[in-house]
């Protein structure tokens, strides 16, 4: 399946099927919090959080793609990501776009 941030796919016409969304909520754990607090004092990348967000992005994309497949889509255009704090210590990562059927 083609997934792109572009609003079209060069050389292709398509039928819009609708919005598709995939999301996941990830929570911090106390071990990561302690390590990130220490890292925050000295500076630098907090790799535990980088890894957590990379995994969350992968999960959200997979879920969005499955939703597009259920609609019979060949592609998802205008892919975007969004994040939000759902409660202290937990964040949602959402992938969303427009499912399309290529002609």
Q: What is the pLDDT of residue 10?
A: 94
Residue 49 to residue 36: CA distance in whole angstroms = 8
Structure tokens at 99: 């499912």
Residue 21 to residue 96: CA distance in whole angstroms = 4
Q: What is the pLDDT of residue 31?
A: 56
| Average pLDDT over all residues of the chain | 88
Does residue 38 or residue 95 have the better pLDDT? 95
**Residue located via tokens 């995994």:** 55
């Amino acid at each position: 399946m083609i997934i792109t941030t572009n609003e079209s796919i060069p050389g292709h016409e398509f039928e819009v099927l609708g919005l598709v969304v995939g999301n996941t909520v990830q929570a911090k754990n106390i071990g990561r919090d302690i390590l990130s607090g220490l890292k925050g004092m000295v500076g630098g990348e907090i790799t535990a959080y980088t890894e957590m967000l990379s995994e969350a992005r992968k999960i959200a994309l997979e879920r969005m793609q499955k939703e597009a497949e259920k609609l019979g889509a060949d592609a998802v255009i205008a892919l975007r990501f969004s994040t939000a704090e759902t409660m202290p210590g937990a964040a949602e990562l959402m992938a969303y776009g427009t499912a399309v059927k290529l002609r």
